[in-house]
Amino acid sequence: MTEFDTLTRLEAIGDEAMAGNIPPRWDIGGNVNGGALLAVATEGLRRITGRPDPISVTAHYLAPGREGPVEVRGEVVKAGRQFATATGALRQGERDVLRVLGTFGDLSQMAGGYRHVSGQPPLLPPIEECVARDVAAPEVPFQEKLRLVLDPACAGFFHGAKSGTAEMQGWISFADDRPLDTLALVLIADALPPAVFHLDGVVGWVPTLELTVHVRAVPAPGPLRVRISSRFVHDGMFEEDGEYWDESGELVAQSRQLALLPRG
Amino acid sequence: MTEFDTLTRLEAIGDEAMAGNIPPRWDIGGNVNGGALLAVATEGLRRITGRPDPISVTAHYLAPGREGPVEVRGEVVKAGRQFATATGALRQGERDVLRVLGTFGDLSQMAGGYRHVSGQPPLLPPIEECVARDVAAPEVPFQEKLRLVLDPACAGFFHGAKSGTAEMQGWISFADDRPLDTLALVLIADALPPAVFHLDGVVGWVPTLELTVHVRAVPAPGPLRVRISSRFVHDGMFEEDGEYWDESGELVAQSRQLALLPRG
């Protein structure tokens, strides 16, 4: 079983509750990656809605997630013809790690029709000209799960060189070559180092308050092109927007999160 | 009492339930505007959290809202030092109109500190050179509640002239001059005509699946500059992004929604 399927495996323990286990090394400094947590919660809601694809999911993060047992509780609040909406919680021990609200559907049934796309995928060098991390980062075990190569223009990050612009872009896929599906997009939507790390003076833990992912299409096989950026860093918070494109040139997901600047 | 304060007035009917009444003429063709519904729900959660400002709120829309009695039910799921998170529902009769998940805080306590802003407010002519609707639109009573003037570049919309670009920008304030506060930003975040109406072939009801609003600062007095746009219209859905700027030049809110294209 792939690492992502192991992460998101859940067993029913009642009508609307499921038990899972977060394996080791999905963390950054002990805190499980927010996209990984949202993927587990999304898998739970996806199952209770009985629809194949997350369409829009939002998580509010309440406490750090840790490796080990996890429970997902959910409730379907509407099951319509085209979509089903559910609300839920991911819990560890006696506390909520996150709350989630999501709408699910079947993207294969929505393909085609009217089209007007003005957004463009990021201009990226070919994957073999992009830069993998070549320095140890033992505090970020999570990075082992994914194969991320960055545009040389922003890859100085790996060596502590800041570009001064809050942008990161590159290519991403699973390290174990698991195919990317719509559930995996929820993970990918919070998988890059924060774009604000390219700004002078921003170092440290940047906790996510809220993350919303729109899944817009089933990804074609192959790595994704990804671009994240933050344009509004002020008053203790910043947004981070992400766009994710598949090999066919289609936008497959958008993400936006609101996060907190490191105090100091 | 102002029209917006009348809309969002709620009375406690228990520990975590509140009753209100949606007055006439907040609708578009009989369906209450989605921002108005979210403002009512947000006011309910704001009250049960005891924090002054919505920071991030997400609604999933489940059924059209109508004028008349409404009930907001909510639950505080975490009350921390800086933020409190709540989940809730806006109900009419026996059905959920929307579900909401939100985090609340006190923006006045967050002002200042590190700042890096690369986004710019829209380039707009002065308010007196922008264009108000001068043709009747009896199916859109909601428009009476706000004073919206559009950039002449996109104001042909009022007469059915499409620009071919899914963008709208202009100035907005309450028609009755109620000051804009952080709760009002939640309304404003869904108050413009859809940007996709500027695309050839897109006409009709475009139901919102999900709307997320980030409130980033308490607005200074005066009208807001607003810009909305849609870049990815495909496979039956589109995103709409909005930015809202106050008279001091600060970004006070961002919005993103996922909506459905008209069928046909």
Check CB contact under 8 Å for B209 and A89: no
Closest CA in chain A for residue B57: A210
Check CB contact under 8 Å for B210 and A212: yes
B 17-76 near A (Cβ less than 8 A): 55-56, 58, 60, 62-63
CA A166 to each of CA A48, A130, A212: distance values in angstroms, whole numbers, following the listed order: 38, 18, 19
Q: For residue B135, how far is the Cα from the chain centroid?
A: 24
**Structure confidence at residue A264 (pLDDT):** 57
**Structure confidence at residue B262 (pLDDT):** 86
Task: Tell me which amino acid residue A112 is.
Answer: G
State the complex-level ipTM.
0.97
Read off the pLDDT of each residue in B232-261 and give the average, rounded to a whole number: 98
Check CB contact under 8 Å for B234 and A117: yes
Read off the pLDDT of each residue in B164-172 and give the average, rounded to a whole number: 97
Task: Report the phi/psi class of residue A159: left, alpha or beta, with left for phi > 0 and alpha for psi in -120 to 50.
Answer: alpha
Q: Which residues of B touch A58 (CB under 8 A)?
A: 58, 101, 210, 212
Q: Indicate the pLDDT class of residue A136, thresholds 50, 70 and 90.
A: confident
**Structure confidence at residue B70 (pLDDT):** 98
How many beta-carbon pairs under 8 angstroms link A with B? 167
Mapping DSSP to helix (H, G, I), strand (E, B) and coil, where does residue B182 land? helix
Tokens of A181: 């599906």
Listed residue (A52, A31, A41) closest to A75, CA to CA: A41
**Structure confidence at residue A45 (pLDDT):** 98
Q: Which residues of A touch B214 (CB under 8 A)?
A: 210, 239, 256, 258
Q: Distance from B155 to chain A by nearest Cα, in Å?
A: 21
Q: Distance from A157 to chain B by nearest Cα, in Å?
A: 18
Tokens of B15: 């520990």
Q: Indicate the pLDDT class of residue A116, thresholds 50, 70 and 90.
A: very high
Give B39-67 pLDDT, tens digit per residue.
999 999 999 999 999 999 999 999 999 99
Q: Are B215 and B55 in contact (CB under 8 A)?
A: yes
A 188-207 near B (Cβ less than 8 A): 196, 199, 201-202
> Is the CB of B14 inside 8 Å of chain A's CB atoms?
no
pLDDT above 80 for B264: no
Task: Tell me which amino acid residue B53 is.
Answer: D
Q: Indicate the pLDDT class of residue A14, thresholds 50, 70 and 90.
A: confident
pLDDT above 90 for B150: yes
Q: Which residue reads 């009755």 in tokens?
A: B176
Question: CA-to-CA distance for B88 and A99, rounded, in angstroms?
Answer: 12
Q: Indicate the pLDDT class of residue A109, thresholds 50, 70 and 90.
A: very high
Question: CA-to-CA distance for A173 and A177, rounded, in angstroms?
Answer: 7
pLDDT above 80 for A263: no
Longest dimension (CA), chain A: 51
Give A189-215 pLDDT, tens digit per residue.
999 999 999 999 888 889 999 999 999
For the full predicted model, state whether its pTM sits above 0.90: yes
DSSP B62-125: -S---SEEEEEEEEEEEE-SS-EEEEEEEEETTEEEEEEEEEEE-GGGT-SS--EE--------
